[in-house]
Amino acid sequence: MRTSESHPPLCSVPAPCDPNPQSTNEQQPAEPFSSPMVQSVAQECFQVILAGTNDLPEVVELKFDHVFFTGNRGEGSRIAQAAARTLTPVTLILGGKNPCYVDQNCDIATTAQRVAWARFHNAGQSLVAPDYILCHVNVKERLVQALKCCLMQFYGSDPRESRSLGRMVNLEIFNRTRDMLWRSGKVAVGGQVIEAEKYIAPTILTEVTESDPIMEQDVFGPILPILTVNSVDEAIAFINKQEKPLCVYTYSSNSKIISRLMNETSSGGFCSNDSVLQSLMVALPFGGVGASGMGSYHGRYSFDTFSHRKSCLLRGTRFECVTYLRYPPYEDRNLSLMTWASALSQKSQGWCQIL
């Protein structure tokens, strides 16, 4: 007896942001096969379909063996519904509001650096970036000041001129992020926007409330809202009131606090005293739960995701003198022998279950 695996594994690549500060408003036509090697592999091994998000449900209905989708929750729901009509299994890696709890017992300087890097790299366009900070009220002022210093260190006095800061990938995301920014909280640093360049400055928001637009939608841009809590219990309760996120982050020097956040919240992944890195390690499965997705991938887990474990039993035609006991008519002698064989099977390697 053995299992065999079918459906060869594939790999996925993230969509990049626009790193060019002087990019225009117009979206450039896609060039999916710029490399001759990639072009050759794509043509020989895969069938490539270029489609917009509105066409995705129709594409899914082509009856694939497996559908792997990374995107927002609304599109993921449409993909799952379309796949269900053909009973196609799906893996969904969806966005979500990833909370980051900053405890009063932590290294503020290191915490600020790691959170700022995670939130603002790639112009904030990352599914695994911290979406908002739940900061203990005792360290809020120190944390905000430390974040301001980090932004100055990372991007200089004018982030617009920094070669290390990207731009929003398109106007749709730019407009949605700008509107959330303008209608939420109070700007502590940043806040500048330039539509012609799809530029939004790295921004920290304070005095944010749970009802602000930026707390009701996924943040896919360089904006970091900060809310305050009075205890770890309040932080855990706040996180558990929301939809299950893709990641939960905790910064604390207290191992008991870290354990509580890890064990008393539900999320696709968890990381303490750093951000994003858990999603980069191929030895760890990466995926969501509940509203943040289903299934996982990375390393061996990618192979398992795109594989079907098919059970196979290879038998010969010998020993029919024993096998015949399973055939009718069923008499008392046959039943006694079958009972004996079943008892023997529990002590051996299970070969008598063939009967």
> Quick one: average pLDDT of 331-355?
68
pTM for the predicted model, two decimal places? 0.82
86, 61 Cβ separation under 8 angstroms: yes
Look-up of token digits 């010998």:
318
Tens-place pLDDT, residues 23-64: 333 344 444 555 676 667 767 777 777 777 778 778 888 888
Tens-place pLDDT, residues 200-233: 999 999 999 999 999 998 899 999 999 999 999 9
In this structure, the chain runs to a length of 355
Q: Indicate the helix (H) or strand (E) that contains 80.
A: helix 73-85
In a 3-state reduction of DSSP, which class is residue 110? Answer: helix
- The pLDDT score that the predictor gives to residue 278 is 93
Share of the chain above pLDDT 70, in %: 86
**Alpha carbon distance 238, 229 (integer Å):** 9
218, 75 Cβ separation under 8 angstroms: no
In terms of pLDDT, which residue wins out, 348 or 151? 151
**Alpha carbon distance 90, 66 (integer Å):** 6
Q: Which of 184, 187, 102 is nearest to 143 (CA)?
A: 102
- CA separation (Å) from 231 to 34, 142, 189, 235? 52, 17, 26, 6
Tens-place pLDDT, residues 67-121: 999 988 888 998 999 899 889 999 999 988 999 999 999 999 999 999 999 999 9
**Alpha carbon distance 332, 293 (integer Å):** 54
Residues in contact with 304: Cβ distance below 8 Å, sequence separation at least 6, in sequence order: none
**Alpha carbon distance 50, 28 (integer Å):** 14
Lowest-confidence pick of 312-316, 328-332, 347-351? 347-351
In a 3-state reduction of DSSP, which class is residue 35? Answer: coil
54, 74 Cβ separation under 8 angstroms: no
